Every structure is written in structure tokens, then in C-alpha cells.
Structure 1
């Protein structure tokens, strides 16, 4: 958990993508996030976390389904959404916290 705290404690917004490799929605979401990474560059940090390999963190954050997306800024969660979110909405959200 302390590593997670280090990852999210930054002034740059951090988009966390909690996913499961065998989930079709997660695979679709991953391609959307790759496009966002290219467009946003250094204005957004993107981290993918496998919920099956990180059960303690998943339980601590009460993640019930994948994909789940969260945006953190300066160590605080500022946005959270479960399910697929479209590219335009994610870019708008990321820019809102820059």
C-alpha cells in the first residue's frame, strides 16, 4: 500500500485503471487509455493495476468490478467510475484536474 501512496502523491493527475486481463470490457478500456496516453503526454500519469494480482489494494479501495477508473491528484481521489468510459469524457476529466 505504501507504494500506491507514492504513485498517487503527485501534482500531476494520475489515472488508475483497475482491470482484469480476461475481461473484454477491460481490454476495450485499455485501448481507449492508450489513445489518451498519446494525446495527454506528460499531463497525465496512467497506471494499470491488475485486480487479480493486487487483491489487498482492490479490497482496500472497495473495487467490486473491472474496469474501474480513478483519478488522483496530490494523494486524494478526485474522480471514480466503474465500467467503460469513452475517450472524450476521460480527456475532459483529466484536463479538469490539470
Structure 2
């Protein structure tokens, strides 16, 4: 996974840490899909399964899932644990482009 290069890039990067077995993560996926489809040409997007990449979950201090973050030029612009409505995610992307 080339997450480090994406986070360091000038393009806004959305990272979603999730677990396939957690109902809130399942509920969050359509919201993320909607926002990614809308902003696909201007953001990077990565979904990180904490069961497949536990080292990344540890590195980013993930305590609960879903946890979604926005990065630009290596700086974390936003972080939230829990389900976020698609309209709120879209607004956050617009504010951080």
C-alpha cells in the first residue's frame, strides 16, 4: 500500500480505516462511495482494512472504526471516528481542496 506517498502529495487524500465485520463501517461505505465518486478527479482515496493492515492502524493510533481522515501535503486536516453523512464529507472535501 502506497499510503505515505498519497498523504504527502499536494492532492487531498481521504483515508478510511475500517473493518468489514463492523456494522458502522458497512453503514459508512455508501457515504464514502458517494463523495469519492463526486470528487474522484481531485482527491486520492484509500480504504484501510485494520485486519489486513494492523501496523497502519497502530501507526495512525486507530482506536475505533470507522475512522476517516483528510490529509494534504502530509498534514492531517481532519479526523473523525464514526459514521459521517455524505453531505458533511463533501463539504469537508470542498473546504480543504
TM interval, shorter chain, is over 0.9
Q: What CA distance in whole angstroms lies between the structure 1 residues aligned with 2:23 and 2:30?
A: 11
Aligned to 2:88: 89
- Specify every segment of 5 or more residues in structure 2 that has no aligned partner in the other structure, as ranges: none
- Specify every segment of 5 or more residues in structure 1 that has no aligned partner in the other structure, as ranges: none
Write out aligned runs for 1:23-34 (5 A).
23-34=22-33
Please, what is the CA RMSD of the aligned residues? 1.3
Q: What CA distance in whole angstroms lies between the structure 2 residues aligned with 1:41 and 1:64?
A: 28
Q: What CA distance in whole angstroms lies between the structure 1 residues aligned with 2:67 and 2:91?
A: 17
> Matched residue pairs, number?
97
Q: Which moved more, 1:39-48 or 1:79-88?
A: 39-48
Aligned to 1:57: 56
Q: TM-score, normalised by structure 2?
A: 0.93
Give the drift of 1:20: 0.1
Q: Secondary structure at the match of 1:21?
A: coil
Q: What CA distance in whole angstroms lies between the structure 1 residues aligned with 2:39 and 2:59?
A: 29
Q: TM-score, normalised by structure 1?
A: 0.92
Q: Secondary structure at the match of 2:51?
A: coil
